[in-house]
Amino acid sequence: MSTPTQQRTRPPQGGRVTGKSPVYWLYLLPGGLLFSVIIVVPFVMNVGLSFASWPGVGDIAWIGFDNYTRLFADDTFWASFRNSIAMIIAMVIIPTSVGLLLASVLFDVIGKRFGGRAASTLRALYYLPQILPVAIAGIVMGWILRPQNGALNNILEAVGLGDLAQNWLGDPSTALPSVMAIMVWVQIGYPVVIFMAALQRVDPELYEAAEIDGAGWFRRFRAITIPQIKPETFVVALTCTIAAMKVFGPVFVLTRGGPGDATNVPSYFAYQNFFERANVGYGAAISTVLTLIIIVLSIVFIRFQARSERKERG
Amino acid sequence: MRTTRSLQAAGLVAASALVLAACGGDDNGGQATGDDGGQATSGGTLSLWHYEGENSAMGIAWDEAMRIFEEETGATVEFEEKSFEQIRQTANMVLNTSEAPDILEYNKGNASAGLLASQGLLTDISDAVAEYGWDEQLAPSVQTTARYDENGVMGDGAWYGIPNYGEFVMLYFNEDLFAEHGVAIPETYDDLVAAMDEFVANDVTPLAMSGAEYPAGQLFYELALSQADRQFVNDYQLYENPVDFSGAALSYGAETFSEWVQAGYIGDYSAGLSAEDMGTAFIAGDYPMLYSGSWWYGRFVDEIDGFDWSIDTFPGSDLHPGSSGNLWVVPTASENKDLAYQFIEITMRPEIQALLGNNGGVPVDADPDDITDEKSEELITVFNEISDADGLAFYPDWPVPGFYDDLVGALQQLINQNATPAEVLEQLQLAYESGLDNVPN
């Protein structure tokens, strides 16, 4: 999406590429075709079905905005969106801030004192949960958190903290925090890797000059690291927010939205209606609302990023 | 850059695939017909889908049925192994296309086979039933799930499927734990409560339980059934009359379940446990009792070697969760319906029924003399008693699509004791009624 905009603002290079060149449109064709088949057509169909009552087979009954009126009065729908906010905390806010700190420590302290290899190894370890298939990670985490014979409770008992043992995923008061903690573990490697890559392109002279001027690590982190890697921070925050809004796999594997609606999220709620309740129209309405929220969030993010970049350029 | 190039390459490959697929046309309607396939014989091809494990009773029996079918008809079976979820979630989209198989195993009940039947996706096989006499082989309560009316409600109307096996829910006892704690195996409901009290007094949780999946809902339903009659089941499952969740039966179910948690009969930690957790804990000998289905039976025979165990129906109730097993159904789009009927006929023969029975399954029409395995005989005897007494009451989540999740959520609240039985029943009433809006009747 950003490529054509950037090219329009740049002067044509050697007159080879212009916005009107037919070859240019040819290159867009495969992507455009796939985008239409995989995204646009299903999305339009989904929006269409959100105005219908349909069990998934047979005749479709058009019911106007009924699904939407029902949706906004549905407690489960609102509960699922409240849980989305928890997912944003667990998948965006905590990993991005902790990831920034970790990346900076790995790059600036570990990398310098113990060598690049030590920093790379640690970075790979943080990234490991991102490589694990979510279904497997979820099942293993489910075992660890089991109330009886679960590794976590056993460890707590072994070190004399048996009172802290919980029914982690089975109790509504601990289920959501447990899922959030797992998501932090899953997510943390992504910002660390992106931020470490970003730090590579920051001019080392900036740090050296600051060090000579007597700036400590935290001062350098605040005055150089954070502003210098702002574009990457925006990208991480945006992609993670989208991932948090549409999170499905971990909830499906760990809790199936339960106990009660304690860990239900919009994607799982839509899935339940689509496939479990044979309530395709209602499921489509939930998906449509979710998609619209993600689009609006993305626009806000991108605008905010553009404004911040404009401000920097002065 | 590498990512961009890879994406471009993937895009090109996918686009080419789309173009090629579009050019391919559907010259023979996929694999279903197979008349011009390389291996086709004069008898044609029967495409067949099922989702039973290779080593399960059904897997073994049906494998043999396929062998006999090929031998007798000269036709080839084109078998595709599917998963339960795969068939459940995609059947309605696949069955009205040329990709539909000639015969498949499908989940029974209003929300499953009933829905497909009401939408015209399944063949009315009543004529074949009369021709082959399958109705005489199936007990009335087993027939219920094979017949659906025009709205897809089971019990009455045309035949849309044939089950080969049955299933039911019962109590499993770890006899060694009973002996160790000097507790007698219960025969009446009062015995059961007294036995559970004794175990609790000995610091043993008597009942293995799973709140995250079906077992809790089935126990709640069984407790309700102990206070109910066949009319209640007809109202709840077949919508003959409105169901009042605050009525005597269901209130008793929820209140007793909650009392059992408070009394320590059911662990208050079991809300997050899966059915697999529950079953493996029983196999490990951690619990004296398990209340669950006959689908565990074969596995317990194979995997329990540290203690003696036995089974019995839940005491004090004439009705029990259970039904026919899944059905053989013939899609409307099937191009080889006669071959499909011939295959069903083979699965109902005594030798295949015996094979089911001797491998831990519950055949619907086995000759008792053919069952040589002692443990299998015990299971089949209990099933026949329930089935002959018209005691199969189906499953609590059947009446409306999606009720399964509602039941799981409701029972988890009772296990965690963060809602009263009355509150839980009210939630279930709402979910049941809003689900009924999606049932076409």
Asked if residue B204 has pLDDT above 50, the reply is yes
| Region B190-216 average pLDDT | 95
Q: Which of B91, B93, B125, B117 is nearest to B105 (CA)?
A: B91
User: Mind listing the pLDDT tens digit for each residue in B260-293?
Assistant: 999 999 999 898 888 988 999 999 999 999 999 9
Share of chain B above pLDDT 70, in %: 90
CATH value of B168-322+394-437 in 3.40.190.10, 3.30.1490.20, 3.40.50.2300, 3.40.50.150: 3.40.190.10
**Of B119, B402, B413, which has the smallest distance from its Cβ to A276's Cβ?**
B402
B376 shares contact with chain A (CB less than 8 Å) = no
State residue B440's pLDDT score.
60
Domain residues for A225? 68-309
B55 shares contact with chain A (CB less than 8 Å) = no
Fold of B45-165+325-366: D-Maltodextrin-Binding Protein; domain 2 (3.40.190)
Shortest alpha-carbon distance between residue A144 and chain B (Å): 12
B246 shares contact with chain A (CB less than 8 Å) = no
> Structurally, how many domains does chain A consist of?
1
Share of chain B above pLDDT 90, in %: 60
- Give A146's contacts in chain B (Cβ within 8 Å): 272-273, 277
Shortest alpha-carbon distance between residue A34 and chain B (Å): 7
User: Mind listing the pLDDT tens digit for each residue in A130-184?
Assistant: 999 988 999 899 989 988 888 999 999 999 988 888 889 988 899 999 999 999 9
Residue A291 within any structural domain of the chain: yes
A232 shares contact with chain B (CB less than 8 Å) = no
Residue A41 within any structural domain of the chain: no
- Give A56's contacts in chain B (Cβ within 8 Å): 92-93
Residues facing B159 on adjacent strands: B147
Low-confidence ranges of chain A (pLDDT < 70): 1-20, 314
Shortest alpha-carbon distance between residue A126 and chain B (Å): 22
User: Mind listing the pLDDT tens digit for each residue in A278-300?
Assistant: 789 999 999 999 999 999 999 99
- Give A194's contacts in chain B (Cβ within 8 Å): none
B424 shares contact with chain A (CB less than 8 Å) = no
A312 shares contact with chain B (CB less than 8 Å) = no
B408–A276 C-beta distance less than 8 A: no
Residue A289 within any structural domain of the chain: yes
- Give A148's contacts in chain B (Cβ within 8 Å): 267, 269, 273, 281
Parallel, antiparallel, or unpaired for β B103-106 and B327-329? antiparallel
State residue A15's pLDDT score.
47
B8–A258 C-beta distance less than 8 A: no
Peptide bond before residue A133 is cis, with ω within 30 degrees of 0: no
Residue A93 within any structural domain of the chain: yes
Give the number of other Cβ atoms within 10 Å of residue B371's Cβ.
21
CA-based diameter of chain A, in Å? 75
- Give A73's contacts in chain B (Cβ within 8 Å): none
| Region B346-356 average pLDDT | 93
| B window 121-150, beta carbon within 8 A of A | 121
State residue A5's pLDDT score.
42
Asked if residue B441 has pLDDT above 90, the reply is no
Dihedral sign for Cα B392, B393, B398, B404, please: negative
Domain assignments of chain B as residue spans, ordered by start: 45-165+325-366, 168-322+394-437
**Of A58, A147, A261, which has the smallest distance from its Cβ to B269's Cβ?**
A147
Burial of B354 (0-12, 13-18, 19+ CB in 10 A): buried
- Give A171's contacts in chain B (Cβ within 8 Å): 271-272, 416
User: Mind listing the pLDDT tens digit for each residue in B400-440?
Assistant: 878 888 899 899 999 999 899 999 999 999 999 988 876 66
| Single-letter code of the amino acid located at A219 | R
Asked if residue B12 has pLDDT above 80, the reply is no
Contacts of A46 (CB under 8 A, 6+ apart): A284, A287, A288, A291
Q: pTM score, two decimals?
A: 0.79
User: Mind listing the pLDDT tens digit for each residue in B65-105?
Assistant: 999 999 999 999 999 988 877 787 778 778 878 889 999 99
- Give A30's contacts in chain B (Cβ within 8 Å): 8, 11-12, 14-15
**Mean pLDDT, rounded, of chain B:** 86
**Of A146, A261, A273, which has the smallest distance from its Cβ to B277's Cβ?**
A146
Residue A142 within any structural domain of the chain: yes
Q: Domain of A247: which CATH number? A: 1.10.3720.10
Q: Tell me, what's the ipTM?
A: 0.71
State residue A18's pLDDT score.
54
Residue A20 within any structural domain of the chain: no
Name the phi and psi angles at B173, rounded to 5: -115, 135
Minimum CA–CA partner of B271 in chain A: A170
| Region B206-216 average pLDDT | 94
Asked if residue B207 has pLDDT above 50, the reply is yes
Structure tokens at A101: 């700190």
State residue B439's pLDDT score.
66
